[in-house]
Structure 1
Amino acid sequence: MAKRSQLLAPFKGTSARRTIPDRVQDVVQQFDRRSEQLIGWVQLTLGSFLAILYLVAPRPTDGLMQQPVPVSLAIYLAFTGLRLFLSYRMRLPDWFLGFSILVDITLLFGLIWYFHIQYGQTASFYLRAPTVMYVFVFIAIRAFRFEPAWVLATGASAAVGWFLLTAYAIWASGPESITRSYVAYLQGNGILIGAEIDKIVAILLLTTVLAFALARAKQLLAVATREQIEREELRRFLPPDVERAITEAPLGIVAGAAEERDAAIIVLDIRGFSAFVNRSQPKEAVQTLVGLHRLIVPVVQRHGGVVDKYLGDGVLATFGATRPSPTAAADALHALVEIMAIAREWSTASELAGLSLRMNGAATAGKVVFAALGDEFRLEYTVIGDAVNLAAKLEKHNKAERTAALTTRETYALALAQGFSTEVPAELRSACLVQGVPGAIDIVVLDP
């Protein structure tokens, strides 16, 4: 029962819209509007083709008059042109679309009805007109829109129209015109009820098949549109390299999936931010952070890095973790030095505003594991390893050294080998004791 309701949902305007988020519905409506424009162009092309065909084709020698044909084509082309023009200016209202369906079917069946007058025959004569095949074209054209209701409306109008034409033929030709002989039907003006029912059934069958096909297509369009919107939104939360690692993975990502790489890590933190938060409005604190991120994130990205995560008022960025890089250490130090220059200007501006905020940072390089952590319901790509832990500890060590940016002697040497500028001021401090790090290590103060 649930599957049946889900299948029929696209036929029910209001219930279908409840199951589709507004943003997805807006995209579908935009698609429908473009589809309506396409329908207009197809119908205008079809009408133009029929008009050209009428002008160049030889006239039947047994026809008495053909005035309604050019008049009907002129009316059809004028109305189709108006509809196409309006489709570019506005979203066509439903009543107008329904009216256009009636115009299409009425003009087509009106021409067919006129055949018996044109050729001086009984009304049953027009029931054999091959022009009725164009009704399938009108039904199929409506399938350009992902709205089964319009296909159903066109098919139902055509079925009712042909029923009325058949009823009129029986009334005008008299009951004696009804025959049960297929041969008499083909060779004379007899009316074979079964043949006309077959036409109506064929119209309704085509309409039903197309409508259900569109119902499934509309569901697929809604799902695909929803997923596209969700993916575009998620891109704002995932670095491009992480998204690429997820979408291009040959198999589904599972918790524990990991790769070991040579990478570099930057850890940034704002001194004095906790006190600032305590005496500020939450929105003001957030806006301050967002403003700083707008300055430093492009620097990280410009040097080939990825912001792995925001740690409250801190930032963890990686270089060469999401994808291998032969210059990860040099890129990290270049980014750190540039960020520190921006941070000094930012700190000066904050002091003028009565704030006391200062950014510290540290960079390290070494083996890291780029891994998917979590469980089967929620995963997060991140980096783990000694280089990550050491960067976090070095960042805190800035306070003890009264510095702003630190790295290790090994990272600095590796960065120089990878092309890091020797013109950047640097100061070596040997045998420093960093809290949480066993033994003394040599550190380098960047741009002291």
Structure 2
Amino acid sequence: MSTLQKYSSETAPGVMTPPAVPPRLPALAYAVADAFRAPETTARLPPRVAELLRAQDRAAERLIIYVQLSLAAALAFLYILAPRPEDAPMTMLAPVPIALFVYTLFALVRLAMSRGGATPGWFVIPSIVADMCLLLGLIWSFHMQYGEPPAFSLKVPSILYLFVFIALRALRFDHRYVLAAGLTAACGWAVLTTFAVMDSPAGAVTHNFAAYITGNRILIGAEVDKIVAILLVTLVLTIGARRAQQTLLTAVREEAAGREIRRFLSQGVAEQISKAEELIEAGHAAEREAAIMMIDIRGFTPFSTTVAPTEVVRMLTSFHARIVPIVQANQGVVDKFLGDGVMVTFGAVAPSQTAAADALRALDSILEEARAWQNSLTELGLKTPLHVNAAVASGTVVFATLGDATRLEYTVIGEAVNLAAKLEKHNKAEKTLALFPLATLMQATAQGYVPFHHPVSRNAAAVAGVTDPIDLCGYPA
């Protein structure tokens, strides 16, 4: 049964539908088709991703210009110092120095333009054409320079620099420029071959390969081979540049997404995730000697019922903006923002020999900063008083990954966590700003901690939820 009969028999009489799945093309055909597809425009990308791509594009364009300047300098150096054949004239007005000078000047103009941003496409394409025309013009000048027939220029080894110029465009993550360079080179060599044939005396074109190799004769097949080689190299580099472009786009998207996601994670936790050598799974746990700090804002509930929600958020944001830098400066990690509270860990995410000392140093600085923050609220006309209370406890904790395969979270589990939470609430009973066990103070002192202010003692304090009385230290309200 033919394909037409097959589709006709499976549909209504006289109606033929196309196949649901197009016939599969060879992988190379897909790659070639993809190479000629226009790159994804930045207009369809999120602004932050588009800006990252533009930055990469500007850097790539400057890299190409620097390579071009280096290439021009290297060629000039070789032209001046390299031993020369006896029949090779050397003068600063020869075609090679002139071409190098114009090439360098053009590269410097492009470098100046790139300083103000990405070089526009309308300038890049003409610059590619100009580069190729300059090189092809230099190649064509050789037969005149040496007084030989035009066929002489077609054998000059400088044709190899056409491949260098094409490859240079692969440094920029836009395959269209590679394609433009390759097509310009191929068309240019075809034009050069045509000029050589037209400008040569009768009998210059030969079908004898030996005659072509040993004399100033033109073998059309050999020139076609060169054009085919240029096109093949262009195709390979275009496909490679296209794949690199897609990889860059994916990487930039992931980098932008990673940056945004890391803002929702504690700095230490983000580093743990990014540096993990194995897949992170639920149930991973590590036992650490750590210190836990709990911070809470007293009077927050009455305050939140008297002002607009946006004002509540602005107040909390201003508070967090003051204390988070203090936490980070003392090697702490914000574990959670608990509404008007904050849970901070020291030595839990990464092992530390000074966790207790770091926690109490951070506590002292946070209490000082909290006073300044409270004054700023008063100056804004806030009638409801707000006070910052805190507590610190140290001990053995477990830094663990909880959740399932679709949702994971790092958290800290242990008696020190529970005790810190209970001590923070116990501030109200003791009328203190902050509390911490005497054992934590002694441990911190052994680690080099020196209090900003002399803490008061609360011996054998009965803390709700704690079975035995505990010796505490704290700062009075």
State the TM-score, normalized to the length of structure 2: 0.82
Instruction: Give the C-alpha shift of residue 213 in structure 1.
Output: 1.7
CA contact (8 A) 1:394 1:407 kept: yes
Instruction: Give the C-alpha shift of residue 348 in structure 1.
Output: 4.4
For 2:470, give the aligned amino acid.
Answer: D
Q: Which residue of 2 aligns with 1:34?
A: 59
Question: Could you say what secondary structure the match of 1:399 adopts?
Answer: helix
For 1:426, give the aligned amino acid.
Answer: V
CA contact (8 A) 1:337 1:446 kept: no
Q: Where do residues 10-89 of structure 1 align in structure 2 (5 Å cutoff)?
A: 12-13=37-38, 15=40, 17=42, 21-51=46-76, 53-54=78-79, 58=84, 61=87, 68-89=95-116
For 1:428, give the aligned amino acid.
Answer: R
Cα displacement string for residues 106-160 of structure 1 (whole angstroms, at most 9, x for unaligned residues): 1222233334444444433322222222211211222221221111111101101
Given candidates 187, 196, 199, the residue that maps to 2:226 is 199
Given candidates 212, 219, 226, the residue that maps to 2:239 is 212
Alpha-carbon distance in structure 1 between the residues aligned to 2:344 and 2:88: 85
CA contact (8 A) 2:293 2:391 kept: yes
Alpha-carbon distance in structure 1 between the residues aligned to 2:125 and 2:199: 30
Cα displacement string for residues 42-71 of structure 1 (whole angstroms, at most 9, x for unaligned residues): 3334334445555666576498x9855554
Higher percent of residues as helix: 1
Q: Which residue of 2 aligns with 1:340?
A: 367
Are residue 388 (structure 1) and residue 417 (structure 2) matched? Answer: yes
Question: Could you say what secondary structure the match of 2:283 adopts?
Answer: coil
Given candidates 285, 301, 319, the residue that maps to 2:312 is 285
Question: Could you say what secondary structure the match of 1:427 adopts?
Answer: strand
For 1:356, give the aligned amino acid.
Answer: P
Cα displacement string for residues 252-276 of structure 1 (whole angstroms, at most 9, x for unaligned residues): 2111111122222111111111221
Alpha-carbon distance in structure 1 between the residues aligned to 2:205 and 2:118: 47
Q: Where do residues 256-335 of structure 1 align in structure 2 (5 Å cutoff)?
A: 256-335=283-362
Given candidates 435, 457, 460, the residue that maps to 1:430 is 460
State the TM-score, normalized to the length of structure 1: 0.87
After superposition, the Cα gap between the structure-2 partners of 1:39 and 1:407, relative to the gap in structure 1 and judged at 3 Å, is closer
Alpha-carbon distance in structure 2 between the residues aligned to 1:319 and 1:52: 60
Alpha-carbon distance in structure 2 between the residues aligned to 1:52 and 1:333: 65
Instruction: Give the C-alpha shift of residue 443 in structure 1.
Output: 4.7
Alpha-carbon distance in structure 2 between the residues aligned to 1:221 and 1:175: 54
CA contact (8 A) 2:334 2:344 kept: yes
Q: Tell me the matched-pair count.
A: 445
Alpha-carbon distance in structure 1 between the residues aligned to 2:75 and 2:326: 63
Q: Which residue of 1 aligns with 2:184?
A: 157
Instruction: Give the C-alpha shift of residue 21 in structure 1.
Output: 4.2
Q: Which residue of 1 aligns with 2:154?
A: 127
Question: Could you say what secondary structure the match of 2:55 adopts?
Answer: helix
Gaps of 5+ in 2: 1-23
For 2:329, give the aligned amino acid.
Answer: R
Alpha-carbon distance in structure 2 between the residues aligned to 1:349 and 1:87: 47
Question: Could you say what secondary structure the match of 2:295 adopts?
Answer: strand
Q: Where do residues 248-259 of structure 1 align in structure 2 (5 Å cutoff)?
A: 248-259=275-286
Q: Which residue of 1 aligns with 2:397?
A: 368
Alpha-carbon distance in structure 2 between the residues aligned to 1:125 and 1:342: 82
Q: Where do residues 158-197 of structure 1 align in structure 2 (5 Å cutoff)?
A: 158-173=185-200, 176-197=203-224
Alpha-carbon distance in structure 1 between the residues aligned to 2:445 and 2:69: 69
Cα displacement string for residues 216-275 of structure 1 (whole angstroms, at most 9, x for unaligned residues): 222333333334444444443333332333233332211111112222211111111122
Alpha-carbon distance in structure 2 between the residues aligned to 1:344 and 1:40: 56
Question: Could you say what secondary structure the match of 1:251 adopts?
Answer: coil
After superposition, the Cα gap between the structure-2 partners of 1:199 and 1:340, relative to the gap in structure 1 and judged at 3 Å, is same
Question: Could you say what secondary structure the match of 2:131 adopts?
Answer: helix
CA contact (8 A) 2:179 2:235 kept: yes
For 1:395, give the aligned amino acid.
Answer: E
Alpha-carbon distance in structure 1 between the residues aligned to 2:226 and 2:94: 28
CA contact (8 A) 2:31 2:239 kept: no
Question: Could you say what secondary structure the match of 1:238 adopts?
Answer: coil
For 2:225, give the aligned amino acid.
Answer: D
After superposition, the Cα gap between the structure-2 partners of 1:328 and 1:10, relative to the gap in structure 1 and judged at 3 Å, is farther
Gaps of 5+ in 1: none
For 2:187, give the aligned amino acid.
Answer: V
After superposition, the Cα gap between the structure-2 partners of 1:62 and 1:320, relative to the gap in structure 1 and judged at 3 Å, is closer
For 1:245, give the aligned amino acid.
Answer: Q
Q: Which residue of 1 aligns with 2:6?
A: none
Moved more, 199-208 or 405-414: 405-414
Question: Could you say what secondary structure the match of 1:92 adopts?
Answer: coil
Instruction: Give the C-alpha shift of residue 11 in structure 1.
Output: 5.1
Are residue 401 (structure 1) and residue 426 (structure 2) matched? Answer: no
For 2:123, give the aligned amino acid.
Answer: F
After superposition, the Cα gap between the structure-2 partners of 1:239 and 1:130, relative to the gap in structure 1 and judged at 3 Å, is same
After superposition, the Cα gap between the structure-2 partners of 1:188 and 1:310, relative to the gap in structure 1 and judged at 3 Å, is same
After superposition, the Cα gap between the structure-2 partners of 1:446 and 1:113, relative to the gap in structure 1 and judged at 3 Å, is same
For 2:360, give the aligned amino acid.
Answer: L
